[in-house]
Amino acid sequence: MQRAFDYVVVGSGSAGCVLANRLSENGKYSVCLLEAGPPDRYMWIHIPIGYGKTMFHKVYNWGFYTDPDPNMLNRRLYWPRGRTLGGSSSINGLIYIRGQRADYDHWAALGNPGWDWDACLPYFRRLEHNDLGAAPTRGTGGPLWASSIRTPHPLVDAFIASGERLGVPRVDDFNNGAQEGVGYYQLTTRNGLRCSTAVAYLKPAKKRANLTIETNAHAARILFDGSRAAGVRCQRGGETFDVRASREVILSAGALQSPQLLQLSGIGPAAALRELDIPVVRDLPGVGQNLQDHLQIRLIYEVNRPITTNDQLNSLWGQARIGLQWALARSGPLAVGINQGGMFCRALGDESATPDTQFHFATLSADQAGGSVHPFSGCTYSVCQLRPASRGTVTLASRDPLAAPKIQPNYLSDELDRRTVVAAVKFARRVAQTEPMRAWMAREHRPGQDVRTDEEILRFCREYGATIFHPSGTAKMGPADDPMAVVDARLRVRGVAGLRVVDGSIMPTLVSGNTNVPIVMVAEKAADMLLEDAAAAR
């Protein structure tokens, strides 16, 4: 099988679905979207609380593991990534967050013109339909919904009130650029259903004659004519087939698999490629470097009244009740997922000019994200440092395109990160012990009252810390004089033609918060760049 298109997009995740829609929208160009996983027909993808069902799914989740991390007691950490139409936007926690103005202004200051907050804001507004209504920093009428949680929960209300008592202002909108505050999150849901990028962008475009979607098609390597990307070689079962691109190949496989595919194709650190007998197309030492992720630390408390989602899920009557709520009114716990309460604060106080810590507050508890809930009434305070200084790597384990890459996150390898997570745990404890939250707390289940000193808290973070699913930075955007830059400010891979990376890989530094919406923005902006360049080439 060999077919030719104007554009070939690898990966149908948060970025790939956007590109498939926007590049095919005017009818001028043919687009092929390649997805290694199956279609998104699994029921639990579309029910928001189904996050727990997809967390360890063998078909819809890549289920990666890191290498043993020496900074995390040599633990191998589980890293879920979406493997279906919509990618990780089909299995994530649905939190609608952009990050801070300072994040994007910093990207521009690093030598990436056009990526400051003011330049990105029109794309944030274009992509969204926000039920808070239009505003200078909000959009309506876009494909991706930002839905407010309409039914309050007494625990979340108490969490918000306690945050206010500690000096964090209550807000309804975390996405105006300032971010600091405490309140209910908005979610990427629409009428009680998940609004993934497959739903928001791909579904409306599926019937276009100029868009071809190939599922169960695993990209094995990029094909080159000299130094120009000319297509993609794919595997499906025992079959190998090529898909040609007359204009460009675009990698949107994510921060783990885009750098993996670049390296498999001969683009990356030359010495490492030669060790695996991979012919070098372009020596780019930054490919697979600069890996960043948010490390979540989960504090679990027992609640003294049976009002938590634990209680509902541990009772057949409770399960039936929340099932009926969703079936009849698209409301209740099934419609809002796991985390409802949010906070962006400065755990390090005046040392941080902007919020350095994010809270995800959940009215349930489990030993791990997506795990079985505890038998007691429970809630979870999940905290993460927003701008980690630690850097990791994604490298090849072998030349086999079906083999998982080697992932070394190097969490907590930087002193700032260690100080921040300790301060964040202390701040979470302050919230739990501040009225009105204190009145609901029966006991601290984890880490427990015997963990008190900074050293004990840090060991707890090393023992129980886990990804909050935001890997980024492994094909970073940067100027020509940055030897570790992989793409330029128009997301073109340096030193080759006809090849771009459009996903979380290109972030030079991690944004302050959840990465789904920022990646959608990157893809919206990249689509304009691609269409502008195509028009200029005519």
User: pLDDT tens across 41-79, in order?
Assistant: 999 999 999 988 999 999 999 999 999 999 999 999 999
CA distance 354 to 351: 9
In this prediction, residue 329 has a pLDDT band, given cuts at 50, 70 and 90, of: confident
Per-residue model confidence (pLDDT) at position 411: 98
Pairing of strands 295-303, 466-467: antiparallel
Residue 368 clears pLDDT 60, i.e. is over it = yes
Residue 392 clears pLDDT 80, i.e. is over it = yes
Neighbouring-strand partners of residue 148: 186
Under 8 Å between Cβ of 280 and 273: yes
Per-residue model confidence (pLDDT) at position 165: 98
Residue 454 clears pLDDT 90, i.e. is over it = yes
Residue 1 clears pLDDT 60, i.e. is over it = no
Number of H helices, E strands in the chain: 16, 25
> How far apart, in Å, are the Cα atoms of 369 and each of 252, 364, 373?
26, 10, 10
Q: Which amino acid appears at position 196 of this protein? A: S
Q: What is the dihedral of CA 417, 422, 427, 430, to 10 degrees?
A: 180
CA distance 131 to 458: 40
Percent of the chain whose pLDDT exceeds 70: 100
Q: Which amino acid appears at position 200 of this protein? A: A
Would you kindly state where each structural domain of the chain is located, as residue ranges?
1-47+82-139+190-291+392-402+471-537, 150-184+294-390+412-464
Per-residue model confidence (pLDDT) at position 154: 97
CA distance 57 to 61: 5
Q: Which residue has the higher pLDDT, 412 or 325?
A: 412
Architecture of domain 1-47+82-139+190-291+392-402+471-537: 3-Layer(bba) Sandwich (3.50)
CA distance 514 to 342: 11
Per-residue model confidence (pLDDT) at position 257: 98
Q: Taking the domain 150-184+294-390+412-464, which CATH number applies?
A: 3.30.410.40
Q: Rounded to 5 degrees, what are φ and ψ at 339?
A: -95, 130
Q: Which amino acid appears at position 337 of this protein? A: G
Residue reference for tokens 């300032």: 178
Pairing of strands 181-184, 218-225: unpaired
Neighbouring-strand partners of residue 492: 500
Residue 415 clears pLDDT 80, i.e. is over it = yes
Residue 452 clears pLDDT 90, i.e. is over it = yes
Write the DSSP symbol of residue 487. Answer: B
Per-residue model confidence (pLDDT) at position 62: 97
Percent of the chain whose pLDDT exceeds 90: 93
**H-helix or E-strand spanning residue 531:** helix 516-537
The mean pLDDT of the chain is 96
Under 8 Å between Cβ of 100 and 512: yes
Q: Rounded to 5 degrees, what are φ and ψ at 52?
A: -70, -30
User: pLDDT tens across 138-190, in order?
Assistant: 999 999 999 999 999 999 999 999 999 999 999 999 999 999 999 999 999 99
Residue ranges for the known binding site for FAD are: 504
Q: Please state the length of the chain.
A: 538
Under 8 Å between Cβ of 387 and 309: no
Pairing of strands 466-467, 339-345: unpaired
Residue 521 clears pLDDT 90, i.e. is over it = yes
Non-local (6+) Cβ contacts of 264 within 8 A are: 220, 221, 278, 396, 399, 401
Q: What average pLDDT does this structure show over 82-97?
A: 97
CA distance 168 to 94: 23
User: pLDDT tens across 267-317, in order?
Assistant: 999 999 999 999 999 999 999 999 999 999 999 999 999 999 999 999 999
Q: Which residue has the higher pLDDT, 537 or 387?
A: 387
Per-residue model confidence (pLDDT) at position 11: 98
Per-residue model confidence (pLDDT) at position 2: 60
Per-residue model confidence (pLDDT) at position 51: 84
CA distance 384 to 421: 7
129 belongs to the catalytic site: no
Residue ranges for the known binding site are: 504
**H-helix or E-strand spanning residue 444:** strand 441-446
Per annotation, catalytic residue among 57, 153, 360, 470: 470
In this prediction, residue 406 has a pLDDT band, given cuts at 50, 70 and 90, of: very high
Q: What is the DSSP string of 290-351?
A: SBB-PEEEEEEEEESSS-SHHHHHTSHHHHHHHHHHHHHHS-SHHHH-SEEEEEEE-TTGGG
409: its two tokens = 């996150």
How many Cβ atoms sit within 10 Å of the Cβ of residue 453?
A: 9
CA distance 169 to 176: 14
Displacement of CA 453 from its chain's centroid (Å): 32
479: its two tokens = 């100027």
Residue reference for tokens 């990526």: 115
